[in-house]
């Protein structure tokens, strides 16, 4: 009997170490869950609040994305439609399920400076400005929408090609550099869903449904830890 017990020592140690790792991963996911729920609540609060004036140019260098992301703002200026840029999207989300483009246009602010405005989504057959002339607002206008930080790219994101006018990310810094806009905001604005003449672009294309699977991940890790103990218990019973 002592010999049999001795043969269980190292399997027991290994089981406890592996279970500790699994449980720690589950606890970490619970912390992530609390963080994600707080982030979603903050986004909803900011996005649904009454629009506030856009921060002045002097404050732009000090702005941090975590302080302004999804902030509801209003800005007054004139669109530079000659410097319009299209960013490809596999789907327009709430603005349309088919592939198309987000229309990004510099807004020359009445107060000075430039900010890139994502005016909304257009399908592939509305790529050319000539197919949506009615939506090219002229003169001074007021834009209401959500402040957005530069869009991050991942390993699978194709490289943007400013020379060819081909973009896959919403990067206001890149656009400002390409069009020599100065001073330019380090953020962009997603225009709200106000109906434009001619119907295009369709605003309100902001995706606000953040994935939140941390609870299921935590339960998976905890379940694996319990399963591991069950396997060890069955192994120990067989050794008896």
Kindly report the backbone phi and psi dihedral angles of residue 20, in degrees, each rounded to the nearest multiple of 5, phi listed first: -65, -40
- Stretch 111-126: mean pLDDT: 92
> Which pTM was predicted?
0.77
Tokens of 107: 């807004």
Contact 145, 189 (CB under 8 A): yes
Task: Report yes or no: 100 and 92 within 8 Å, Cβ to Cβ.
Answer: yes
- What are residue 87's phi and psi, to 5 degrees? -110, 120
* 127-159 tens-digit pLDDT: 899 999 999 999 999 999 999 999 888 888 888
d(CA 168, CA 156): 11
Cα 154 from Cα 179, distance rounded (Å): 25
């Amino acid at each position: 009997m002592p010999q049999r017990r001795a043969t269980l020592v190292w399997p027991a140690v290994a089981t406890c170490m592996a279970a500790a790792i699994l449980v720690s991963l589950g606890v970490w996911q619970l912390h992530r869950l609390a963080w994600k729920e707080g982030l979603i609540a903050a986004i909803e609060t900011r996005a649904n609040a009454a629009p506030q004036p856009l921060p002045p140019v002097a404050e732009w260098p000090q702005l941090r994305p975590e302080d302004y992301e999804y902030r509801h703002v209003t800005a007054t200026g004139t669109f530079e439609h000659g410097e319009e840029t299209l960013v490809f999207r596999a789907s327009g989300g709430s603005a349309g399920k088919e592939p198309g483009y987000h229309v990004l246009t510099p807004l020359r602010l009445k107060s000075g400076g430039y900010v890139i405005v994502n005016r909304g989504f257009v399908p592939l057959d509305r790529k050319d400005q000539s197919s949506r002339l009615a939506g090219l607002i002229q003169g001074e206008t007021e834009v209401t929408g959500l402040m957005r930080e530069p869009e991050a790219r991942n390993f699978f994101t194709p490289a943007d090609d400013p020379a060819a006018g081909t973009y896959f990310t919403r990067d206001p810094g890149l656009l400002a550099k390409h069009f020599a806009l100065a001073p330019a905001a380090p953020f962009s604005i997603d225009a709200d869903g106000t109906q434009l003449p001619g119907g295009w672009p369709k605003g309100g294309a902001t995706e606000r449904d953040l994935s939140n699977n941390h609870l299921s991940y935590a339960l998976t890790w905890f379940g694996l830890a319990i399963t591991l103990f069950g396997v060890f218990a069955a192994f120990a019973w067989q050794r008896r």
